[in-house]
Amino acid sequence: MATPEVKHVRVLSRLFRTGAKRSHLRKTASKAFRSDLRILNDWNWGSNLIGVGVALKHRAGRELEDTRCVQFLVRTKFHPKRLSVAERIPERLALKSAGGEVLTDVVEVPSGLIFHADPFDTVRPLQPGCSGSNARGPLGTFGLIVLRDGVNCVLSCSHVLARAGAAMPGETVEQPFKPFGDPVQLEVAKLTPIFSRLSPIGVNTEDIALAAVDVDAIPQILNTQVIPDSFFPKPSQDFPIGMSVSHFGARSGPSRGAVVAHSQTATFFTEAGQRISIAGLVGYSARAIAGDSGAPVMLTNSSQVVGLHIGGAPDGSKAFFLPIGPVMIRYHLTLAT
């Protein structure tokens, strides 16, 4: 059964997801939902308020081990006296369409959140953890080698392989991405029709893309002995806070951390300055920087994959991953072994 915190985050994500449809929802949604929508109007989602999820409550800079809350991420945390009453996120929140009451926390992320992408060396055969991208960029990390209908494919983020959904099936995927390099030598895969079309309006629920490999590929993660052989099947809300995880980004290499928040919705900024909001993420403490988008996130010291790294703060202080289980199940994927 969903906790009150998870119920509130679900409602908040739905409220954020309305975007341009708000005027329509005011006429069709329930009275409770419309009331909650009015509360949200002054919270400045996507500009200052850039994330929400379930996490441990902070007090005086320390986590309270047994106190869950709804955590809001903001670019600037203002003193309450600088905000109108309507603009303040209350210490206790009671959304009518969620039921009950929950504690809140506001955490500042001054640099905002970005997708993580950057260039790297040639890797043959292809391996999870190496750099790669759509032929038009931007750059990121190949996450997993998977099978779909018996075909070897690379699984990574849409903003890495499919230009955030602006691409067309059949576009070239390169490793590494070199704008002045020979495209014949750099091509390693072709984009399949399976990729997320990320929209700046409302909230997205996935950021994945699948490319059919046309060179040799092995499932062993680059510069490790790890071969992913199973996946964690659960959605974001079922990730326990404190779970030890490690990502294998092309830029950072192995980076260990722990789950710090689940049921997370966060807004990222692309290289072009476009805002993209994604729901159903897991917040974790591993350091990650530009070039790590799409990296496999593993249960530490195991061969079980739990997610794909999506992005975080430019300075590496915040990181998020998309749970892998629902993706593997929805698209009928199996791990190459």
Distance of CA 198 to the CA centre of its chain: 12
Q: Which domains does the chain have, with CATH numbers?
A: 4-108 (no CATH), 111-337 (2.40.10.10)
Average pLDDT of the chain, as a whole number = 89
The β-bridge partners of 276 are 268
The C-alpha atoms of residue 198 and residue 278 are separated, in whole angstroms, by: 9
The C-alpha atoms of residue 235 and residue 258 are separated, in whole angstroms, by: 16
Neighbours of 21 (CB within 10 A): 13
Task: Give residue 35's pLDDT band: very low, low, confident or very high (50, 70, 90).
Answer: confident
Residue 61 gets which letter from DSSP?
T
pLDDT over 90 (residue 29): no
pLDDT over 90 (residue 219): yes
The C-alpha atoms of residue 157 and residue 277 are separated, in whole angstroms, by: 14
pLDDT of residue 180: 75
pLDDT over 60 (residue 297): yes
Q: What are phi and psi of 194, to 5 degrees?
A: -90, 100
Instruction: Tell me the CB-side half-sphere exposure of residue 15, using CA atoms within 13 A.
Output: 28
Question: Percentage of the chain with pLDDT > 90?
Answer: 61
pLDDT digits (tens, 9 = 90+) for 237-289: 999 999 999 999 998 889 999 999 999 999 998 877 789 999 999 999 999 88
Element at 291 (helix H, strand E): none
pLDDT over 50 (residue 20): no
The C-alpha atoms of residue 241 and residue 234 are separated, in whole angstroms, by: 14
Distances (CA, A) of 4 to 99, 206, 221: 7, 24, 38
Instruction: Give the position of tokens 């079980």.
Output: 304
Task: Give residue 21's pLDDT band: very low, low, confident or very high (50, 70, 90).
Answer: very low
Element at 34 (helix H, strand E): helix 31-40
Distances (CA, A) of 236 to 239, 241, 301: 6, 11, 21
pLDDT digits (tens, 9 = 90+) for 116-157: 645 558 899 999 999 999 998 888 999 999 999 999 999 999
Neighbours of 129 (CB within 10 A): 27
The β-bridge partners of 73 are 51, 107
C-beta separation of 109 from 261 below 8 A = no
The average pLDDT across 56-73 equals 87
Task: Give residue 25's pLDDT band: very low, low, confident or very high (50, 70, 90).
Answer: low
C-beta separation of 278 from 265 below 8 A = yes
Cα–Cα nearest to 142, from 133, 60, 327, 324:
133
Neighbours of 114 (CB within 10 A): 17
